[in-house]
Structure 1
């Protein structure tokens, strides 16, 4: 089977809940949680921890995948973990400080918006390892940036979406105009452009101009209603494929599609959303996915075994860090020749004969 279409393991919220050892909510707890986490750190010198962005660990996407990676690492190391959830940006710094105070040896910080708080904490605590997700700009010996070139998988999905579209219009929008978000959108838009060049079509991208780097955003990763309203505006312009980039905001798009009189296909991000949220299985076209749990787990385990490095990890099509999910229920609705074309495009991206123009490349 092509690497373009392997299945990702589902990461349902209920399954995760059963695996959690500690759960934080809003501001971090002031005392060590039950289970003697402090003594665990003292005895084994290994206590992996994680702090979410405002999307929360139940987003069925970005934060949930980070938590799964932390949980997998803790299980492999035979230790416990601590997780703490942020409700807003004002929680980031105090949540990280709380994890430092509880003796965490490795702290995973979820998302570009936590970069400033992560850098401040890392400089103040040089003996703690920090794993900065979706940002690799911090220059510190104890910070490892973990990023994924999602423009590569986004390019494949953009090409496939242009091939599938009957209206000649596809759409995308983001939670915030930051590089980890616009990277998805650039890849998607460039894939549509490539389809137009190769096939002589004129499929339009609504919601994002990759050349001007301007488009539509909800302003955060938690306002589902804002995402629904924004989605409705895009759908009214005639798109039949839409890509919301920003964790749980896809739920607003799904609600807008349900209420729309027109058939519209939904594209997920971060993981295979057909498996992660089967409630919308009939409208998931595909997903721009990345293997976050595996990557995060491996980096945590390396940290625990003395093999920590501040060299960035970059997930690509070549190393399997990013990929395009299967079409699932849409398999019979796409051009039979499409998969072969995607295989060729993937090979071209890997060998460099196809390049993707984006200022957000990691």
Structure 2
């Protein structure tokens, strides 16, 4: 064998060795990535309104997308995904489907999913579960997240008090529950505080839809309130609250901007729902402000804890004004209202203002 041929064989052997090494490294990287994706995958089980409800579910889903972006995870198996529930009958099957698909940390959105979360957690002890807006005790693989929405709703009440011209405002709730009690209680206390500061007497009309889906009923209630001279309505009604926005739009389109009525948004920034064209062709917006419930903060933070191997199983996490677990947007508030709101926010965080958790009778 000549020297030239030996060199060719030797070079070929080196290439082959390098190729094998690279192949081994490549395979190891892919295996690690696959394992990482499975280990850190998250699933969201919605209530019957879905992730495009402009409210509760959408806020939770925004946290999922932010988590996926931060960790370069894609929507779908091995990354992050939602399972849409059309009714309560879908909750348990959706939890089972998410667990079977390999998702490691599974979130249930809304207090109505508490029992399905309990059952799924018992059935799948090696997976993580999260209940939003309720508390599951005694299960080490379940984390609970609730929100002091009464605090942010107090600020919404101040916004209404400082904005109303008629001294009549409204509160429209979805289904009566301890969760919605927080919104109503905080709002009414904030209105009362604003009225006292402004030396005014302000009336709060309150009605409930009975569910979180009936947009037509919400629209009808809003129509009645606006007809009775309420000029600011705070709605805490999930998807049904879209009916309040539709009524405000219909009402405002027939009037000049100076005579507009307002809606206070909830859960997410709902300013996009307040866009309209007033009588005379002027573009305007009737979303006064939005009371934010930080579901996006909660879902992302808990998912990140799981990612780090520190899933808060067995713990009850409470999100408040401190740390922006709940908050309020500046929206279309004037300077006087915003100054009062910022002052009250600080006082609530410092404990100088105690906000009620249930409406006074």
Q: Distance in 1 between matches of 2:198 and 2:230?
A: 19
Whether contact under 8 Å (1:167, 1:238) holds in the other structure is yes
3-state SS in 1 of match to 2:266: strand
User: CA offset at residue 164 of structure 1?
Assistant: 1.0
Counterpart pick for 2:305 among 302, 305, 328: 302
Whether contact under 8 Å (1:41, 1:105) holds in the other structure is no
Give the alignment's TM-score, normalised by structure 2.
0.80
Cα deviations across residues 159-195 of structure 1 (Å, max 9, x unaligned)?
1211211111110111111222221121111101112
Q: Does 1:174 align with 2:173?
A: yes
Q: Does 1:314 align with 2:294?
A: no
- Change beyond 3 A, Cα 1:352–1:43: closer
Q: Distance in 1 between matches of 2:319 and 2:37?
A: 34
Q: Quote the residue 2:266 is aligned against.
A: 269
User: CA offset at residue 283 of structure 1?
Assistant: 0.8
Aligned positions of 1:338-357 closer than 5 A: 338-357=337-356
User: CA offset at residue 247 of structure 1?
Assistant: 2.2
- Change beyond 3 A, Cα 1:236–1:145: same
Q: Distance in 1 between matches of 2:303 and 2:58?
A: 16
Whether contact under 8 Å (2:275, 2:286) holds in the other structure is no
Structure 2 residues without counterparts, runs of 5 or longer:
1-32, 74-78, 277-283
Q: Quote the residue 2:51 is aligned against.
A: 57
Q: Quote the residue 2:221 is aligned against.
A: 230
Q: Distance in 1 between matches of 2:223 and 2:174?
A: 15
Cα deviations across residues 71-120 of structure 1 (Å, max 9, x unaligned)?
22233334312211111111111111111111111001111111111111
Whether contact under 8 Å (1:41, 1:47) holds in the other structure is no
> How many residue pairs align between the two structures?
308
RMSD: 2.1
Higher relative contact order (CA 8 A, sep 6+): 1
User: CA offset at residue 41 of structure 1?
Assistant: 6.1
Whether contact under 8 Å (1:40, 1:46) holds in the other structure is no
Counterpart pick for 1:45 among 39, 57, 63: 39
Counterpart pick for 1:289 among 292, 297, 302: 292
Q: Could you list the runs of 4 or more consecutive aligned residues of structure 1 that deviate by over 6 angstroms after TM superposition?
A: none
Structure 1 residues without counterparts, runs of 5 or longer:
1-38, 208-215
Q: Distance in 2 between matches of 1:235 and 1:137?
A: 40
User: CA offset at residue 234 of structure 1?
Assistant: 2.2
- Change beyond 3 A, Cα 1:347–1:243: same
Higher helix share: 2
Q: Distance in 2 between matches of 1:98 and 1:314?
A: 29
User: CA offset at residue 272 of structure 1?
Assistant: 1.5
3-state SS in 2 of match to 1:337: helix
User: CA offset at residue 199 of structure 1?
Assistant: 3.0
3-state SS in 2 of match to 1:144: strand
User: CA offset at residue 278 of structure 1?
Assistant: 5.8
Q: Distance in 1 between matches of 2:344 and 2:216?
A: 36
Q: Does 1:77 align with 2:71?
A: yes
Q: Quote the residue 1:324 is aligned against.
A: 328
Q: Quote the residue 2:204 is aligned against.
A: 205
